[in-house]
Structure 1
Amino acid sequence: MALKEIHPEGWAPALGYANGMLAEDGTLHIGGQIGWNSQKVFECHDFIGQMTQVLKNIRAVVEAAGGAPSDIARLTWFVKSKAEYMAHQKEIGAAYRSVMGRHFPAMSLVVVADLLEDEALLEIEATAHIAQG
Structure 2
Amino acid sequence: MTLLQPPGWPRPKGYAAGVRAEGTLIFVSGQIGWNETGRFAGGNIAAQVRQALRNVVAVVAEAGGSADNIARLTWYIVDKAEYLDAQHAIGEAYRDVMGRHFPAMSVVEVAGLIEDAARVEIEATAVLPKSSR
Q: TM > 0.5 between the two? A: yes
Unaligned residue ranges in structure 2 (runs of 5+): 1-22
Work out which structure has the larger RCO, using CA pairs closer than 8 Å and 6 or more positions apart in sequence: 2
Are residues 1:37 and 2:35 paired?
yes
The residue correspondences of 1:11-30 to structure 2 (distance < 5 A) are: 25-30=23-28
Unaligned residue ranges in structure 1 (runs of 5+): 1-24
Q: When the two structures are superposed, what TM-score results if normalisation uses the length of structure 1?
A: 0.79
Q: Which runs of 4+ in 1 moved over 6 A?
A: none
Distance 2:73 2:97 in 1: 14
Match of 2:106, SS state, is strand
* Count of residues in correspondence between the two structures: 109
Are residues 1:99 and 2:91 paired?
no
Superposed CA RMSD in Å reads 1.0
Q: When the two structures are superposed, what TM-score results if normalisation uses the length of structure 2?
A: 0.79
Are residues 1:84 and 2:82 paired?
yes
2:111 to 110, 113, 130: 113
Match of 1:26, SS state, is strand
Match for 2:89: what amino acid? E
User: How far did 1:87 drift?
Assistant: 0.7
Match of 1:130, SS state, is strand
Identity %: 51
